[in-house]
Chain A
Amino acid sequence: MLNYVIRRVLYAIPILIGVNLITFALFFVVNTPDDMARIHLGAKHVTPEAIERWKVEHGYDRPLLFNQEAEGTGKLTETLFVNKSLALFALDFGLADDGRDIAREIGTRMWPSLAIALPTFLVGLAVYISFALTLVFFRATYLDLTGVVLSVVLMSISGLFYIIGGQYLLGKLWHLVPVSGYAPGWGMFKFLILPIAVGVVSGLGDSSRFYRTLFLEEIHKDYVRTARAKGLSERVVLFRHVLGNAMIPILTGAVVVIPRLFLGSLIVESFFGIPGLGSYTIEAIQAQDFAIVRSMVFLGSVLYIVGLLLTDLSYTLVDPRVRLE
């Protein structure tokens, strides 16, 4: 078991190195720091001096991979690759283009993100599973058919529509909740209701349909017939046997996204004016702040890999076949 965890952790290292190389290639090789400087300085007629000055200010005034001028090991370490890319492994994200410390921003902005993402995730899971289970209980009736058609229709609507529609209906027309905004502390609740509701509704079609398929697959298995042959009621068959088995792929599939909840949702946070990591990222993209984007890519990968690890561990917890082998 411990061996297993260690092996998984070791397996994560080459993946993170790969991610690091990809971002390095994208942000430093395809486009050089000179290009970055030109974009930020704006006009096409920037002088070479201005570019140099920008690079010095932002710490990009070093060679990419090999520093001719440095001494000894400095030839390899005093480079952009080591200082800007490999530094990410130490969670040293450096400064954003506006001079702020990225790590500190992440530290404060992850909480609003979590405040939205975690309830959305949990409420969503509960709603989707109950909805799918209801459809399965009434399988092959008109209720089931209606539910499936409804799911397809919901799936076919753009997520942006749910946000804009929700804001218009609940916020502007009915004045039930504020259209957007955020307040720390207890005051946050009135701001959270709408984004969470929108988040849950926009995933309803896709997820319930998927879960319904999982349940239906399970319900046609032999052991379910055995359970019925024992004289168990349909309720027990559905909840104890079908749900019990289908929950394994559902839970383990859900676990992988949990760490990523920290990153928040780009679109939701931006529309609702939540000062979380999602809106931080989207602002960085719009301002073409590569230092932030790079940090978020790396952080996202780390969290994904943590998610994979948690998935493997959760399998060993919920599935006796994996736990005891």
Chain B
Amino acid sequence: MAMNGGLSVRGLRVAIHHEGGDRAMRPVDGVDFEVAPGECVVLLGESGCGKSLTALALMRLLPDGLELAGGQARLGDTDLFALPEQDMRRVRGGRLAMIFQEPMLSLNPVLTVGQQIGEALEAHRHPTAEQAAAETSRLLQAVGLEDRHGTSYPFQLSGGQRQRALIATMLAGEPELLIADEPTTALDVTVQAQILRLLKQLRSERGMGLLLITHDLDVARDMADRVVVMYAGQVVEVASREALYARPFHPYTRKLFSVLPSAHQRHERLEHIPGSVPPLGTVFTGCRFAERCALAWERCHAEAPDSQTLDDGHVARCHLVSAPRPENAAGAGYPPETGRKTAEAEQVAAELLEVTDLAVHFPIRKGLLRRTVGQVKAVDGVSLSLKRGETLALVGESGCGKTTLAKAVLRLIEPTSGSVRLEGTTLDRLDGNALRVARASMQIVFQDPFASLNPRMRVGEILEEGLRSLRPELHRGHRADVVAGLLEKVGLGRDAALRYPHAFSGGQRQRIAIARALAVEPRLLICDEPTSALDVSVQAQILSLLQDLQAGQGLGYLFITHNLPVVGYLAHRVAVMYRGRIVEEGVAQDLMGRPLHPYTNLLLDSAPGRGLPEVAAAPAGRPEAGVGCSFAARCPMAVAECAQAAPDTSTLAGGRRVACHRVVPE
């Protein structure tokens, strides 16, 4: 076995290979960093800045059309880029392994987990059949799976179990360094915390280096020894975790911290970085961040900075390292909008939405005649209320019924029972025209900005669609004015109306989606994870926009999210949903500061950035359509009573409502 000497990358370049190459596109352009043996280095940055390609280049697994265009990578004393492919195969999975973002797609669907682990063992350690079986079992144990999972197919496992299985296959070759590319981005927070803890533990047990790729500052804080910040294909800052979090140097890093929403900033406007990550193929003359940098001056636009080392061991690629910003430079630093945000609407406002015992059940059909044998209770008796100008955050893991609930409120899905009142009008029995009128009062903004706009319609047509249907009294000229007004309101120019959605970035599309919803002047806006597909810098822009709109028009938001810092920053009240029911509801600060329901507790503890405390929670079991509390199987506080009867919702002081046997009203 070669000497375990860590990884060293110098001047790594990846180019897009294309014919008639007028100009070279380099998504990775001169990246340097090291990973010491046993160290955890986090590669941090927004989407499109070249993190994943850097990792794939190290594995020499770049996708078709991309090629290595220079640089050196040494693993111990092996020059990775000089190895013949034959030898590189022994390195892959043997000394250098990699796990990927989508556990759903990264395992072969028709081979069992055991077979996939065995394959890796076979490739690197040539064991006998008995050794292989024993080793497989040992690996499964190491990642917290059981022997029986070895004979399972990937589709039989949950997302977290799949990611564990993937890690097990990658440990088979006993690698010196494991690259993990956004390994938890597709997972729920509670599962994310488990996987991150597992990676940490494996690293210390095996003395294995870990190169973790993430966009999440909080994950980086929990995991990193050192952090490498990337922007537009280059490393802009390298520092130890302590140094970086105590004193970020590069303006980009500083901005990344300041745009993160949190409960502490409740009363402040979020800063944001104007624009978005430059698209591939951009030709840079000066610093790559200069366009978006509030501190940039002439030199930044004219001359590209080199990486330089600061006194405290920081390495940053910025002119500010060597020279202070000239005082007479144009552009007066950060815009002065970091003041207090507009006053919260604290006055007693009218009820906007009242949901009572709403249920959505989907039948399960089985047997010869497809008889209905049971029901999936996607939403199981939910009651909520929302006032004008108020934000109610709906929080829960994926699959808990949040989106179904939203669609049922909008009557996009017919509810099975229960009632929805909007501004005093009961919507349950409405039909045809009456329903259409009611719909003008409530609109929805979806999660995926790429799926929510019809690619075959101009932005103007998209915005007019609602107007035509719900405000037919407007004539053509007036409609065009309304559209132009909307576009300006969401921060896009009025000429955007003539373009097609594909001309816009994700954040801009989300603005268009918001404008579309606002076109019919709703009082209630349902936001279904509106920022979770966006980069953090763009997320801040959208959150600010939503707040401005609320302050200006008294909109009520039903804000669905799994991102707890966003909840802390934005919401007035929070409802926590678990398996179709609201388990806890209350005023945001109160609930987040003093959770009562064990599930809320679990969610808050699992949130990254808190050092991953060990949470005593049983793994998620299969849902039983039993009689007891649906959380009982995972609950650390469960008692006999919990398995026998579902708890009622009790109302406590301060309007807090909790559904738990262990929480007794004072």
- Contact surface of A with B, Cβ cutoff 8 Å: 3, 6-7, 140, 220-223, 225-233, 236, 240-241, 244-245, 248, 318-321, 324
Contacts and interface: CB of A to CB of B under 8 A. Distances in A.
Contacts of B94: 231
A230 B123 contact: yes
B261 interface: no
B119 A320 contact: no
B476 to A, nearest CB: 46
A324 B172 CA distance: 27
16 contacts: A140-B64, A222-B105, A222-B106, A223-B107, A223-B108, A226-B108, A226-B166, A229-B59, A231-B90, A231-B173, A232-B120, A236-B119, A319-B110, A320-B110, A320-B153, A321-B155
B368 interface: yes
Contacts of B102: 222
B83 to A, nearest CB: 12
Contact of A232 (B89, B91, B97): B89
Contacts of A228: 61, 92
B110 A226 contact: no
Interface string B106-133: 1111111000000110011000000000
Given A220-B63, A223-B108, A225-B100, 14 more contacts: A6-B368, A225-B106, A226-B107, A228-B61, A229-B92, A230-B123, A231-B92, A231-B94, A231-B173, A232-B89, A232-B119, A233-B89, A245-B109, A321-B110
A240 B91 CA distance: 21
Contacts of B112: 320
B63 to A, nearest CB: 8
A221 B105 contact: yes
A3 B368 CA distance: 6
Nearest to A7: B368
B173 A230 contact: yes
A230 B92 contact: yes
Contacts of A221: 105
B487 interface: no
A230 B93 contact: yes
6 cross-chain pairs, A with B, having the tightest CB-CB distances, nearest first: A231-B93, A222-B105, A230-B93, A231-B92, A230-B120, A223-B108
Contact of A324 (B120, B123, B156, B166): B156
Given A3-B367, A231-B89, A226 B124 contact: no
B169 interface: yes
Looking at A221, A231, A233, A324, which has the most chain B CB atoms within 10 Å of its CB? A231
A227 B98 CA distance: 10
B213 to A, nearest CB: 14
B89 A321 contact: no
* Residues of A contacting B: mostly: helix
A38 B98 CA distance: 78
Nearest to A325: B155
Contacts of B359: none
B241 to A, nearest CB: 27
A248 B98 CA distance: 28
Interface string B140-162: 00000000000001011000000
Nearest to A233: B89
Question: Most chain-B CB neighbours within 10 Å: which of A226, A244, A245, A318?
Answer: A226
A230 B153 contact: no
Contact of B105 (A223, A227, A232): A223
A229 B108 contact: no
B630 to A, nearest CB: 24
Contacts of A232: 89, 93, 119-120, 123
Contacts of A321: 109-110, 153, 155
A297 B120 CA distance: 53
A122 B105 CA distance: 32
Contacts of A248: 110
Contact of B108 (A7, A245, A319): A245
Contacts of A233: 89, 123
B405 interface: no
Interface residues of B, number: 36
A222 B181 CA distance: 13
A219 to B, nearest CB: 9
Contact of A226 (B89, B106, B123): B106
Contacts of B64: 140
Contacts of B169: 226, 230
A324 B368 contact: no
Nearest to B109: A321
Nearest to B172: A230
B51 to A, nearest CB: 16
Nearest to A323: B153
Contacts of B195: none
B100 A241 contact: no
Contacts of A241: 108, 111
A321 B109 CA distance: 8
Contacts of A222: 100, 102, 105-106
B84 to A, nearest CB: 13
Nearest to A6: B368
A228 B170 CA distance: 11
Contacts of B123: 230-233, 236
Interface in B200-244: none
Nearest to A247: B110
Interface string B75-109: 00000000000000111111001101010011111
B106 A223 contact: yes
A146 to B, nearest CB: 18
A244 B92 contact: no
Contacts of B108: 223, 226-227, 241, 244-245
B112 to A, nearest CB: 8
A245 B155 CA distance: 14
Nearest to B120: A230
Contacts of B109: 223, 245, 320-321
Interface in B351-369: 367-368
Contacts of B107: 223, 226
A75 to B, nearest CB: 34
A221 B105 CA distance: 7
Interface string B162-204: 0000100110110000000000000000000000000000000
A321 B153 CA distance: 8
A231 B175 CA distance: 11
Nearest to A224: B108
Contacts of B61: 225, 228-229
Contacts of B89: 231-233
B120 A231 contact: yes
Contacts of B97: 229-230
A220 B119 CA distance: 20
Contacts of A229: 59, 61, 92-93, 97-98, 170
B90 A226 contact: no
A245 B124 CA distance: 24
Contacts of A244: 108, 110-111
Given A320-B153, A321-B153, A231 B110 contact: no
B550 to A, nearest CB: 40
Contacts of B90: 231
Contacts of A3: 367-368
B119 to A, nearest CB: 7
A245 B110 contact: yes
Given A7-B368, A319-B110, A324-B153, A231 B124 contact: yes
B100 to A, nearest CB: 6
Interface string B53-65: 0000001010110
Contacts of B111: 241, 244
Contacts of B110: 244-245, 248, 318-321
Nearest to A231: B93
Of listed B59, B89, B110, B123, residue having the most chain A CB within 10 A: B110
Given A241-B108, A245-B108, A321-B109, A230 B170 contact: yes
Nearest to B104: A222
B68 to A, nearest CB: 16
Contacts of A6: 368
B172 to A, nearest CB: 8
